[in-house]
Amino acid sequence: MEGKTRVIIYGLGPIGSSVARLVLERPNLELVGGVDIDPAKVGKDIGQVVESGKNLGIVIQGKLSRVLGKTEADVVLHTTNSYFDLFTPQILEIMESKMDIVSTSEELSFPWLTYPEQATKIDAAAKKAGKSVLATGVNPGFLMDALPLSLTAICRRVDHIEVRRIQNASKRRGPFQAKIGSGMTVEEFRKKMDGGRMGHVGLVESTGMVFHTLGKKLVRFETKVEPVLAEQLVETPYFKVPAGRVIGLKQEACGYSDQGEFLNLFFKAALDSPEDQDTIIISGEPNLKVTLQGTNGDTATSAIAVNAIQRVRAAAPGLLTMRDLPFITLS
C-alpha cells in the first residue's frame, strides 16, 4: 500500500478551513502544514483555527517557505484568492518546490480565454517541475461548465445552453455574504462593483471553457450585475440588513458565437432566498432539462477540491482544467 498523500493548505479562510476538516476525515490524506497571511492565525495550531475540535501539533506559518523548511508534502490545496495577479506568484512558488496543486482560485479554472499569456507561463512552470495544477470548485469548475459539457455527451446536436444558479446566501460563509454586497446601499454596491473585486467570479471562465471545448468561437461576451434589495429586515450571523439595502446580487453572462447567443449563465445569490436550485437547459437534439438541489457552494467547493487530489496526482504535468481529467469522485 502506498503512503498517505501529504497535504499543505495555503489559505485558511472558510474554504481552506472546510478543506482542512475534510482532509482530516480522509484516511488516505495527511495534513502536514498550513499557511495564511492573517497575523491573527500565524503561530496558532491549525486544528484550532479550522475548528477541527482538537490541536494537531501543526503551527500555521505566514509564508509557504517557512512550512517547507520543516516538512515535505505532495500537494498544496491552494485557497487564497480569486484573482490572477494576486495568486500567480503563489502558484509559481509552489511549482518551484515541486508539488502538485489543487486550487479554488476562480480565474485559474479556465484561464485560456482571459489570461492566455499568464496561463502559458504557469503551464510551462508546471511542466518544468513535472507537476500538475488544477483549479476547480463548484462554480466555476463544475456547475456552469464541466457538468453541462458532460451532459452534452448524450446530445446529437446542441444549439444553446442555459444555466441558472440560485443560492440562498444566508447558508453561506461570511466572506461570501460580504462579496455579494450584503448590507450596502445601492450606491455603495454600484461603486464597489465598478471598482472590481466584488461579486461572483467565474462566469467568463465557464464561458471560455464551454466555447473552447465545443470548438466554438466566442465573438461577443456580455455581462451585467444588479443588486437584490431587502424588502424587510434580514439577519444572518454576519449581517443585519434593513429594508432597501443590498442582500445580494444577480449576475448574467451571455456568450455569442457567430450564429447568435449560445450560452446564457445566470447567477443569483441573496440572503433569505427561497430554496437553492440550479437548472441546466440544453436545447438541441434532444432537449435536456436538468435540475439540481443541494449544491451549496461552500460544501461543494471544499469537497471537489479534496476529491480532485488523486486525479491531479495521476495526471500528466501542466496546467489542467476539468475537461482534461476523468470524472472526479470520492477518493
Residues that bind a copy of itself (CB under 8 A): 22, 25, 138, 142, 146-147, 149-150, 152-158, 213-215, 285-296, 299-304, 306-308, 322-331
- Contact of 77 with 7, CB cutoff 8 Å: yes
Q: Min. distance of Cβ 140 from a copy of itself in angstroms?
A: 13
If the CB atoms of residues 44 and 323 are measured against a copy of itself, the closer one turns out to be: 323
DSSP result, 137-179: -STTTTTTTHHHHHHGGG-SEEEEEEEEEEEEGGGS-HHHHHH
Closest to a copy of itself by CB, 186 or 281: 281
Measured from the CB atom, is 58 or 138 closer to a copy of itself? 138
Contact 273, 169 (CB under 8 A): yes
Nearest approach, Cβ of 131 to a copy of itself (angstroms)? 19
- Residue in 234, 239, 232, 268 with CA at minimum distance from that of residue 174: 239
- Nearest in space to 126 (alpha carbons), one of 317, 314, 315: 317
Taking a C-beta distance cutoff of 8 angstroms, is the pair 246, 185 a contact? yes
CB of 4 to a copy of itself, least distance (A): 15
Query: Least separation, in Å, of the C-beta of 150 and a copy of itself?
Result: 4
Q: CA 96 from chain center: how many Å? A: 23
User: Minimum distance between the CB of residue 65 and a copy of itself, rounded to whole angstroms?
Assistant: 31
| Cβ at position 17, least distance to a copy of itself in Å | 13
Closest to a copy of itself by CB, 108 vs 230, is 108
Specify whether the CB–CB gap between 134 and 232 falls below 8 A.
no
Nearer to a copy of itself, 114 or 299 (CB): 299
Nearest CB to a copy of itself, comparing residues 126 and 304? 304
CA distance 288 to 142: 17
The rounded distance, in Å, linking the Cα atoms of 61 and 75 is: 17
